[in-house]
């Protein structure tokens, strides 16, 4: 039986992780994400899991990489400055194809910025923040319910694609308390094991290699250096490097349509809002208040890989309005995939877009 509860977003994230079978949390306190760690500190030991408070975010990210290679479902949670510290290790997790989940409860940046205020300023950082070319998956919840559901999903995607998966929430969603339905069980995609006789980094058709893990008899060699299918470093072979990096990118990019996760409202509309995270709430209010079928809403629950095909869901669109808690990071990405005019509605400082200001932009009911 599912249960209905009243819960904070960060707690819902931790509960989602526990439901997904997360059994390792390595983290470091930072506002506004700390509740995730605190909840895991209380709950994980009771489920025979491991909670470790590491000495910083570099160590936190490194610890979940280590844990993941033992077969653990591992996660960390952080915010702005901590996210920046994780970047080198995130690139390492991408290169070594280590499944892991990174929660970022975004706050105002750059630097220490606004520890207690919401932002979405790390959307490009999560996509491109570590050096080199690569692809990752990023999910954006816009409710407490989705903090739970998308955390579960993040674990499944991480294991399926052997890639770091990001839950890119924000301070408002993280600290908001609202109604949530906790299902009695959740979907669980197991990590595909490596078959015997197959090289540890030999990809299957979907470009994802089976997971060898430590102690399974595969003689695993894990390195951040460019490596061949045995996992052995071969850092001066141009062809090999190109093949490896292309595969790391394409295993995600090829699945773009299949794994895309978005919600379409009023597909016949001419004016279409595009949102992810908390601005979706303001747009839903506009749709509710106006009742107009001529205002559409494309709500992205997965921002990376970017679901460019979703734009075609609105064949009549004459303009896309994109409210974001940054200076237009995803609006720019959206803009390069369409000829329809894109109107950016950036907002900094931590306040939400008011439904009234968004409604004004539609020209409906003024």
Query: Which residues contact another protein (rule: CB under 8 A)?
Result: 28-31, 34, 37-38, 41-42, 45-46, 51, 53, 55-57, 81, 85, 111-112
Whether residue 10 contacts residue 105, with contact meaning beta carbons closer than 8 Å, is answered with yes
Rounded CA separation 353/118 (Å):
12
Q: How far is the CB of 54 from another protein (least distance, A)?
A: 8
Q: How far is the CB of 5 from another protein (least distance, A)?
A: 21
Strands 319-324 vs 295-300: parallel, antiparallel or unpaired:
unpaired
Rounded CA separation 168/123 (Å):
7
Q: How far is the CB of 36 from another protein (least distance, A)?
A: 11
Q: Which is nearer to another protein, 38 or 357 (CB)?
A: 38
Rounded CA separation 47/167 (Å):
23
Q: How far is the CB of 185 from another protein (least distance, A)?
A: 25
Whether residue 362 contacts residue 355, with contact meaning beta carbons closer than 8 Å, is answered with no
Whether residue 366 contacts residue 360, with contact meaning beta carbons closer than 8 Å, is answered with yes
Q: Which residues of 65-88 are buried (b: 16+ CB within 10 A; e: fewer)?
A: bebbbebbbbbbbbbbbbbbbbbe
Q: How far is the CB of 166 from another protein (least distance, A)?
A: 22
Q: Which is nearer to another protein, 30 or 298 (CB)?
A: 30
Whether residue 271 contacts residue 314, with contact meaning beta carbons closer than 8 Å, is answered with no
Q: How far is the CB of 114 from another protein (least distance, A)?
A: 11
Whether residue 50 contacts residue 24, with contact meaning beta carbons closer than 8 Å, is answered with yes
* Helices 9-19, 144-161: crossing angle, 10 deg rounding: 40
Q: How far is the CB of 41 from another protein (least distance, A)?
A: 4
Q: Which is nearer to another protein, 341 or 349 (CB)?
A: 349
Q: Which is nearer to another protein, 41 or 240 (CB)?
A: 41
Whether residue 101 contacts residue 90, with contact meaning beta carbons closer than 8 Å, is answered with no
Q: Which is nearer to another protein, 112 or 237 (CB)?
A: 112
Q: Which is nearer to another protein, 66 or 81 (CB)?
A: 81
Q: Which is nearer to another protein, 29 or 349 (CB)?
A: 29
- Kindly tell me the burial class for residue 308, based on how many C-beta atoms sit within 10 Å of its own C-beta (0-12, 13-18, 19 or more): middle
């Amino acid at each position: 039986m599912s249960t209905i509860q009243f819960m904070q977003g960060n707690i819902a994230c931790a509960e989602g992780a526990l439901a997904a079978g997360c059994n390792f949390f390595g983290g470091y306190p930072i506002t506004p994400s700390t509740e995730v760690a605190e909840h895991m500190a209380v709950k994980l030991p009771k489920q025979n899991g491991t909670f470790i408070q590491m000495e910083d975010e570099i160590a936190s990210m490194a610890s979940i990489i280590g844990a993941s290679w033992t077969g653990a479902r591992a996660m960390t949670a952080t915010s702005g400055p901590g996210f920046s510290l994780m970047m080198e290790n995130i690139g390492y997790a991408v290169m070594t194809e280590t499944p892991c989940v990174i929660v970022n409860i975004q706050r105002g940046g750059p630097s220490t910025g606004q520890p207690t205020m919401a932002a979405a300023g790390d959307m490009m950082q999560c996509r491109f923040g570590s050096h080199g070319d690569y692809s990752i998956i990023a999910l954006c919840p816009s409710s407490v319910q989705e903090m739970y559901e998308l955390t579960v999903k993040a674990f499944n995607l991480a294991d399926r694609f052997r890639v770091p998966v990001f839950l890119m929430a924000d301070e408002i969603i993280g600290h908001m308390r609202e109604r949530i339905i906790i299902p009695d069980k959740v979907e669980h995609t197991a990590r595909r094991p490596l078959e015997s006789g197959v090289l540890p980094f030999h990809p299957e058709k979907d470009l994802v290699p089976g997971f060898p893990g430590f102690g399974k008899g595969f003689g695993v060699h894990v390195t951040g250096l460019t490596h061949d299918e045995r996992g052995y470093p071969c850092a001066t072979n141009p062809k090999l490097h190109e093949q490896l990096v292309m595969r790391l990118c394409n295993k995600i990019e090829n699945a773009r349509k299949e794994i895309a996760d978005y919600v379409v409202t009023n597909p016949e509309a001419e004016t279409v809002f595009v949102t992810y995270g908390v601005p979706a709430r303001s747009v839903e209010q506009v749709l509710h208040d106006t009742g107009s079928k001529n205002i559409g809403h494309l709500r992205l629950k997965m921002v990376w890989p970017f679901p460019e095909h979703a734009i075609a869901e609105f064949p009549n669109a004459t303009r896309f309005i994109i409210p974001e808690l940054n200076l237009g990071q995803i609006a720019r990405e959206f803009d390069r995939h369409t000829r329809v005019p894109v109107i950016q509605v950036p907002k900094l400082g931590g306040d939400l877009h008011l439904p009234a200001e968004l409604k004004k932009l539609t020209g409906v009911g003024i």
